[in-house]
Amino acid sequence: MSDLAAAILAGGQGTRLRAVVADRQKVIATVAGRPFIYRLLDQLADASVRRVVICTGYQAQQVAVMLGDSYRQMTLQYSAEAKPLGTAGALRHAQLPSPVLVMNGDSFCEVDLPALFTTGAPTIVVREVPDTLASGRIEFDAAGYVTKFNEKGQAGPGWINAGIYLLNQEALDSIPSDRAVSIEREMFPAWIGRGLRVFQTTGKFLDIGTPAAYAIAQRLFQ
């Protein structure tokens, strides 16, 4: 894990969260007394990761000023986009080494990161939830290979994207470089049949993307 680079996607504008967090980038919003991104950095540091690239966009300077160039044993670097590139476009812009561990900056999921690393790439961490209505769901076969992504609107229990990915060079190179690209809506469906698999976890999962979710996160991290 010490040779693995990690990337945190921290460029979103957080428009849904501005009713409660209007003055800062959402990844540095305070959750139970600490900026949320510290929870992700602690998770990476505990897994012996040594290098983290933070992909920034909206309010990029806020993030860089707060975090600086190191955290615990890790070196922090920044890849700032001049215009919105989408979640996949931000990764392509960062020119990351392979394999790379990717985390959404506004969600947290307890998962065994060293075990994920041994699974190989490309892999999506998935978490089972009682109702996938608001999240969309991921279907996969008995061997763990992704077979289908379902859009939001399908009720009932199922597995959802937990916001952590392990990507190889082939996946990174397939991301278009001339436009904004979503990893969730465009790249994941395109990687079906090309080795994309899941890594299942039962650990704590939450996001802070909406005022309601932000309030829940405060209680869970108390």
On average, the pLDDT of the chain sits at 91
Is the pLDDT at 218 greater than 70? The verdict is yes
Confidence of residue 1 (pLDDT cuts 50, 70, 90): confident
- As a whole number of angstroms, the distance between CA 132 and CA 117 comes to 26
Is the pLDDT at 178 greater than 90? The verdict is no
Is the pLDDT at 56 greater than 90? The verdict is yes
Closest CA to 197 of 118, 107, 103: 118
pLDDT score at 22: 67
pLDDT score at 94: 95
Residue range 93-99: mean pLDDT, rounded: 93
This model's pTM is above 0.85? yes
Domains in the chain, CATH or no CATH each: 5-220 (3.90.550.10)
Give the rounded percent of residues in the chain with a pLDDT score beyond 70: 96
Strand partners, 122: none
Confidence of residue 2 (pLDDT cuts 50, 70, 90): confident
pLDDT score at 18: 67
Confidence of residue 59 (pLDDT cuts 50, 70, 90): confident
pLDDT digits (tens, 9 = 90+) for 124-161: 999 999 999 888 899 999 999 999 999 877 889 999 99
- As a whole number of angstroms, the distance between CA 109 and CA 123 comes to 15
CA 132 to chain centroid: 18
pLDDT score at 14: 59
Rounded (5°) CA angle 119-120-126: 60
* Residue 3 or residue 69, greater confidence: 69
